[in-house]
Amino acid sequence: MTILVSGGAGFIGSNFVLDWLAQSDELLINLDNLTYAGNLENLSSLQNDPRHLFVHGDIGDSVLLASLLAQHQPRAVLNFAAESHVDRSIHGPAAFVETNIVGTFHLLEAVRAYWGTLDDGGKAAFRFLHVSTDEVYGSLSPEAAAFTEQHRYEPNSPYSASKAASDHLVRAYHHTYGLPVLTTNCSNNYGPYHFPEKLIPLMIVNALAGKPLPVYGDGQQIRDWLYVKDHCSAIRRVLEAGRTGEVYNIGGWNEKPNLEIVDTVCALLDELRPRADGASYRQQISYVTDRPGHDRRYAIDASKIALELGWKPAETFDTGIRKTVQWYLDNAQWVADVQSGVYRDWLEKNYTGRSA
């Protein structure tokens, strides 16, 4: 048995690959084109593991996809590959349209063609799982109910609009062609291997480097935070037991304003790695101009996945954020390699001369 994962060198994808192979002996094909966000150092523990086959390639490469699918006959394809940073989508939306919309389209086309070659049993058992985001639902007022799967799509950034478009394509491939798809819409993840452009890892690495902690606007924007390993367990559960054609919202029941997140990170660092001058890291907080079109609040109603599939997060925010801060303290070399760009040499170092 084989599964194919796209984007498995990124933050969530690499956590998923590591967790999957800790529990399964299936071959896992990891297709990733290693943008700035793809980091094979995350997967260095799998270096000699025959169950992990890394393929340096693009989800938009139809020829490569057709050959991988024909050769390996996966029972499932999980799509994590994306451009994922909202601020980057504001500065340069083209890559988001290219990967998140056009890339997902090419992936769906290749999967549809492959699926058509399977016998009836293979067709029925096959799954295409699309990893999406709560941002497609737009922004909530303070008193509004959390997003359910029925909430209308109202994406506000180029990133969320591109993810919304990909969700619609996935839905259409089920409705029109009968492709057995599953879509998950998750809230903000945090945890190991999180690229330090996103709020939590940026605050940790900037604090330790003595740099300002840039809080956008008034810092009262609310996000729902989920430890990344809990997201991975939810995806495994949806893959295993989700009903095809269905959408499952995934969240941590854990809404917090950004300023509280930054404050918690500072408090943990004050405890675990106090500043030399004895002052709190809170002194480094610096209010900066807000993100254009900044969504005020996201909140996920994760009742459906709890009631239907029996999934709930294992970590509370207190346990997850402590583990996360500790991970960054314990992995200073990973942070240094990411910041210096050294991690980008890993592909050459590790894979040149290796045959697939």
For ligand NAD, give the closer residue by CB, 83 or 263: 83
Catalytic residue list contains 135: yes
Residues 38, 229, 249, CA angle at the centre, nearest 5°? 95
Selected binder of ligand NAD within 195, 216, 287, 327 (CB under 6 A): 195
Q: How far is CA 228 from CA 140, 309, 317, in A?
A: 23, 19, 11
Selected binder of ligand DAU within 3, 29, 202, 285 (CB under 6 A): 202
Q: How far is the CB of 26 from ligand DAU (least distance, A)?
A: 27
Selected binder of ligand DAU within 6, 187, 284, 324 (CB under 6 A): 187
Selected binder of ligand NAD within 3, 9, 182, 215 (CB under 6 A): 9
DSSP annotation of 76 reads: E
Catalytic residue list contains 25: no
Catalytic residue list contains 134: yes
Catalytic residue, chosen from 135, 255, 263, 315, is: 135
- Closest CB to ligand DAU: residue number: 133
Residues 266-305 that bind ligand DAU (CB under 6 A): 291, 298
99 near ligand DAU, judged by CB under 6 A: no
Selected binder of ligand NAD within 17, 29, 34, 170 (CB under 6 A): 34
- CA pair distance 120, 124, nearest whole angstrom: 6
Q: How far is the CB of 117 from ligand DAU (least distance, A)?
A: 33
Residue 173, token pair as written in the block: 């491939």
Contact in structure between 225 and 253 (CB atoms under 8 Å): no
221 near ligand NAD, judged by CB under 6 A: no
Q: How far is the CB of 275 from ligand NAD (least distance, A)?
A: 29
C-alpha torsion sign, points 114, 120, 121, 127? positive
For ligand NAD, give the closer residue by CB, 41 or 58: 58
216 near ligand NAD, judged by CB under 6 A: no
For ligand NAD, give the closer residue by CB, 84 or 206: 84
H-run or E-run covering 2: strand 2-6
Q: Using CB under 6 A as the criterion, what x/- string covers residues 137-166 for binding ligand NAD?
A: --------------------------x---
Q: What angle do helix axes 317-330 and 258-272 make, rounded to 10 degrees? A: 50
Choose the binding region for ligand DAU from 50-58, 130-138, 319-327, 330-338 (rule: CB under 6 A).
Answer: 130-138
Contact in structure between 323 and 170 (CB atoms under 8 Å): no
DSSP bridge pairs for 216: 288
Selected binder of ligand DAU within 199, 235, 285, 305 (CB under 6 A): 199
Selected binder of ligand DAU within 86, 181, 269, 325 (CB under 6 A): 86
215 near ligand DAU, judged by CB under 6 A: yes
Q: What angle do helix axes 199-208 and 258-272 make, rounded to 10 degrees? A: 40
- CA pair distance 216, 231, nearest whole angstrom: 26
Closest CA to 293 of 81, 146, 83, 91: 91
Region of residue 341 (phi > 0: left; psi between -120 and 50: alpha; otherwise: beta): left
Selected binder of ligand NAD within 30, 33, 156, 157 (CB under 6 A): 33
Contacts of 99 (CB under 8 A, 6+ apart): 59, 60, 81, 82, 83, 162
Closest CA to 170 of 159, 151, 184: 184
Choose the binding region for ligand NAD from 170-178, 188-196, 211-219, 288-296 (rule: CB under 6 A).
Answer: 188-196
Q: Hunting for tokens 């209308």 — which residue is that?
A: 152
Residues 130, 308, 174, CA angle at the centre, nearest 5°? 35
DSSP annotation of 118 reads: S
Q: Using CB under 6 A as the criterion, what x/- string covers residues 242-261 for binding ligand DAU?
A: ----------------x---
- Contacts with ligand DAU by CB under 6 A: the residue count is 19
User: In terms of residues, how long is the chain?
Assistant: 356
Q: Which residues are catalytic?
A: 134-135, 159
Residues that bind ligand NAD (CB under 6 A): 6-7, 9-13, 31-35, 37-38, 58-60, 80-82, 84, 99, 103, 131, 133, 163, 186, 188-189, 195
